[in-house]
Amino acid sequence: MGLLLFGVAKDIAGAAMISFPATATDVAALKEWLYENYPPLRQLSSLMIAVNREYAADSQLIHAGDEVAVIPPVSGG
């Protein structure tokens, strides 16, 4: 399944989109997979996952066809 990355998460992964295994069936499992495969992501102060353009809790299920994105911390002024 495809995963969109933005900001520093995109820089860490080296791509704007990566594939993640179908075994990551919820947000918690996806985060675990991300941290194992891209350890620098653990250093971010926060890391949100959006499913179908809405922030998702760790318990949120991920289904085939969902739009899933990694939203790193953002700063503004």
Please list the residues that pair with 49 across neighbouring strands. Answer: 70
**77 pLDDT exceeds 70?**
no
HSE, side-chain direction, 13 A CA sphere, residue 63 = 2
Domain assignment present for 55: yes
Q: Count of domains in the chain?
A: 1
Model confidence, pTM: 0.91
Distance CA(12)–CA(77), nearest Å, equals 24
In a domain? residue 68: no
Q: Which residues of 29-51 are buried (b: 16+ CB within 10 A; e: fewer)?
A: bbbeebeeebeebeeeeebbbbb
Instruction: Give a yes or no: residue 12 inside a domain.
Output: no
- Is 35 inside a domain boundary? yes
What are 6-46's pLDDT values in tens digits? 999 999 999 999 999 999 999 999 999 999 999 999 999 88
| Structural domain for 46, as ranges | 22-62
